[in-house]
Amino acid sequence: MTGFSRYAIYFAAGADNALSRFGAELLGYDAYGGDEISFPQDALRIASDWRDITADPRKYGYHATLKAPMALAPGKTEAELVAACATFAGKPRPVPVIRPVVDSISGFIAVIPAEPVDALQQLAADCVRDFDSFRSPLTAEDRARRKPEKLSEPQREYLDRWGYPYVMEEFRFHMTLTGRLDANRRGPILEMLRERFATLKLDALAVDRIALFTQDDAKARFRIIGEWTLGR
């Protein structure tokens, strides 16, 4: 990982949105205000090590990745990236709407779409392309961290081209709630999270905004410094 500050373009549901509160409570961190939050009691009852279970996603805040964390390219500034976010959001485009469910994905638990949504795949691809001029090239260390030997050939190609392997047709929208869990632990935690999520009565989720997150250094948590509603 680089020693410099990083930026990412994520989807976050909005500071006052029930989904944002749901995620922030479970992660114990609100990326909008940068505040620590107490974990829900039912999470602690099901797993006394809940803080450890959520340590990895807590660092990033509750979000879905659209453009993965990146150090700024030489000559690029935060102000220019902020302006580019506003320009991107202002372009007319179909606003993706998903049917959100809680499920396991690659061993961790997240809110994901119940079925594929073409407009969502397009939004993510547009973010990858449109913001790539702001991305500093991967260092050898950054590339090695992605364990390219374990990636598929297309994923390795995307890693080298876009700095991140899970883009384009490899992209899977997810709002992470836990780190990777052993199979024997996953069931009870998944059931608890589904029960909590059901109380939101969230049958449809509009992916209608982008948020600019920043990380001051490698040990810092990401926080939101800007948010823009997508044009229609």
Q: What percent of the chain has pLDDT over 90?
A: 92
What's the pLDDT at 142? 86
What's the pLDDT at 145? 87
What's the pLDDT at 1? 42
∠ CA 153-159-162 to the nearest 5 degrees? 130
Q: Where are the alpha helices (DSSP H) in the chain?
A: 18-27, 41-46, 50-53, 55-60, 78-90, 118-130, 140-145, 153-162, 183-198
pLDDT at 3 over 60: no
Name the band, by pLDDT with cuts 50, 70 and 90, for residue 2. very low
Name the band, by pLDDT with cuts 50, 70 and 90, for residue 9. very high
Q: Are 200 and 22 in contact (CB under 8 A)?
A: yes
pTM of the model: 0.94
CA 212 – CA 223 distance, rounded (Å): 8
Name the band, by pLDDT with cuts 50, 70 and 90, for residue 96. very high
CA 134 – CA 69 distance, rounded (Å): 11
pLDDT tens digit sequence for 137-189: 998 888 998 899 999 999 999 999 999 999 999 999 999 999 999 999 999 99
CA max distance for the chain: 50
CA 108 – CA 221 distance, rounded (Å): 20
Q: Residue 15 is encoded by which pair of tokens?
A: 């500071």
For 230, what's the count of Cα atoms within 13 Å in the CB-facing half-sphere? 24
What's the pLDDT at 164? 94
pLDDT at 53 over 60: yes
Name the band, by pLDDT with cuts 50, 70 and 90, for residue 78. very high
Q: Residue 118 is encoded by which pair of tokens?
A: 């073409």
pLDDT tens digit sequence for 58-70: 999 999 999 999 9
User: For residue 228, which of 87, 93, 18, 68 has the smallest C-alpha distance?
Assistant: 87
pLDDT at 16 over 50: yes
Q: What integer is the mean pLDDT of 41-63?
A: 97
Q: Are 114 and 98 in contact (CB under 8 A)?
A: yes
∠ CA 134-27-128 to the nearest 5 degrees? 20
pLDDT at 232 over 80: no
CA 162 – CA 171 distance, rounded (Å): 12
